[in-house]
Amino acid sequence: MTILIRNVRIFDGTSLSDQTGAVLIEGDRIARIATGEGALADCDAARVIDGHGGTLMPGLVDAHTHLALGSSVEVMGRPGNFPDDVLALTAAHCARVMLDHGFTSAYSGGSSSPGVEIALKAAIDKGQVPGPRLVTSSFERLPGGMPGLLFKFPGRDVRESNPAAVTHFVEEMAGIGLQAVKFLLNGVSAMDAGSNMNEQFYEDEILAAGEAARKAGVWLTAHCYTADAIKIAIKAGFRVIYHCNYADDEALDMIEAAKGDIFVGLAPGIEEADRDRAPKFGMMASPEQVAEQAAAVEHKIRVGQELRKRGVRSLPGGDYGFPQNPVGLNARDLELFVEWFGYTPAEALHTATALGGVLMDMELGQVKEGFLADLLLVDGDPTQDISTLKNKDNLRMIMKGGALYKAPAA
């Protein structure tokens, strides 16, 4: 089917055009783009959509997605190691909510059930359930432990190094078809007080994981708070590094040196949520935890500003899915890139579109001829007011692969 979208201002993934234009969609791809009054008026399209001067832009990409943690803006639930049937329904629900809010692609930060993650991706790709394009990922497990969500992080000092177990884990996850394997190099204070600073793995284990991933052809993702964890992940060749709150100067230099090979997921959404809302849900509620999270935010702001100056590929995606930051608030990360890290709205949009397409390793994230037609038609101009994207009612059209998931009113 051919669709012509006309009378729109086009944000192509980098900048907003200074005049109205038109985009022709053929099948699942962008076929032609033109600007100026009457652009592409000669096209014989099966359907014509008048944008009425709105902004046409690429669909959004979330770089740190958890679809089965249990909470969306429509349904609240606590994370847990639930049966696969429960996790599958939860993940499918949250996938639909993400698409409702304009996120047409998602890079998974992990699921406690690898089978559910793979099955959900297959169902989305077949059109059986609505949701974003998905890069699948494992959740990490400690050597000798069971797969799934972790709630306690005792640190590496309670056990001996076991590179063979780590290698086996990477090979096992690659063998069942996951695209990425995740390791929590530090703990999670929101689940286990004070564990953000705990080192969970020995360096030889993480280097072994890197070697195993290269052989198996999978990507590695690291959850890192400390400078030491960041440095080890970079040495091992991890592709995505999350959080990075306590990066020191050496870690920042290493990130900059590797910026052509890595992506940093700063995840400001979870930092803000843990500071401002988690105590209402009985998390991070003690005076010590409140102080720890306030400090974590201050460090995050400094690191995020520094990475922007150094031209590092920092991407939005804030661990959405917990009760304090449910799926559906994902666009809040874009606001925080502006408010905390000093990005312009257009720069923040670039991270969530064109850079997100590079992360997904697909021809998407740009309004460009030949690219996949994952597009949003937005009331207003998000390059001036980034908060426009937080309200799904401002999304007049949501298109994924040339198919209208949300069609504009006539």
Domain housing 105 = 60-360
pLDDT at 170 over 90: yes
> Do 70 and 35 fall within a single domain?
no
> Do 46 and 35 fall within a single domain?
yes
> Do 48 and 170 fall within a single domain?
no
> Do 22 and 86 fall within a single domain?
no
Q: Mean pLDDT across the stretch 64-92?
A: 93
**What are the pLDDT digits (tens) for 256-275?**
999 999 999 999 999 999 99
> Do 95 and 210 fall within a single domain?
yes
> Do 257 and 402 fall within a single domain?
no
Q: Which of 34-43, 129-138, 154-163 has the lowest mean pLDDT?
A: 34-43
333 confidence band (pLDDT: 50, 70, 90): very high
* The pLDDT value given to residue 145: 67
The end-to-end CA distance of the chain, in Å, is: 18
Please give the Cα distance from 208 to 315 (Å, whole number): 27
* The pLDDT value given to residue 264: 98
46 confidence band (pLDDT: 50, 70, 90): confident
> Do 40 and 168 fall within a single domain?
no
* The pLDDT value given to residue 78: 84
> Are 56 and 68 contacting, i.e. CB atoms less than 8 angstroms apart?
no
* The pLDDT value given to residue 185: 95
Residue bearing the bigger pLDDT, 59 or 190: 59
42 confidence band (pLDDT: 50, 70, 90): confident
pLDDT at 306 over 80: yes
pTM of the predicted model over 0.85: yes
112 confidence band (pLDDT: 50, 70, 90): confident
Judge residue 77's burial from the number of C-beta atoms within 10 Å of its C-beta, 0-12 exposed, 13-18 middle, 19 or more buried: middle
> Do 54 and 160 fall within a single domain?
no
Which CATH number does the domain housing residue 179 bear?
3.20.20.140
Nearest to 150 by CA among 179, 116, 190, 120: 190
Q: Mean pLDDT across the stretch 32-60?
A: 91
146 confidence band (pLDDT: 50, 70, 90): low
Please give the Cα distance from 254 to 5 (Å, whole number): 44
3-class SS at 177? Answer: coil
* The pLDDT value given to residue 124: 98
Q: Mean pLDDT across the stretch 353-370?
A: 98
pLDDT at 143 over 80: no
**What are the pLDDT digits (tens) for 177-211?**
999 999 999 998 888 888 899 999 999 999 999 99
Which CATH number does the domain housing residue 43 bear?
2.30.40.10
> Do 53 and 64 fall within a single domain?
no
User: Above pLDDT 70, what percent of the chain?
Assistant: 98
Number of domains in the chain: 2
Tokens 């920092």 locate to 314
Judge residue 2's burial from the number of C-beta atoms within 10 Å of its C-beta, 0-12 exposed, 13-18 middle, 19 or more buried: middle
> Do 255 and 402 fall within a single domain?
no
* The pLDDT value given to residue 169: 93
> Are 284 and 274 contacting, i.e. CB atoms less than 8 angstroms apart?
yes
> Do 111 and 238 fall within a single domain?
yes
Q: Mean pLDDT across the stretch 393-406?
A: 98
> Do 144 and 270 fall within a single domain?
yes
**What are the pLDDT digits (tens) for 289-305?**
999 999 999 999 999 99
Please give the Cα distance from 408 to 410 (Å, whole number): 6
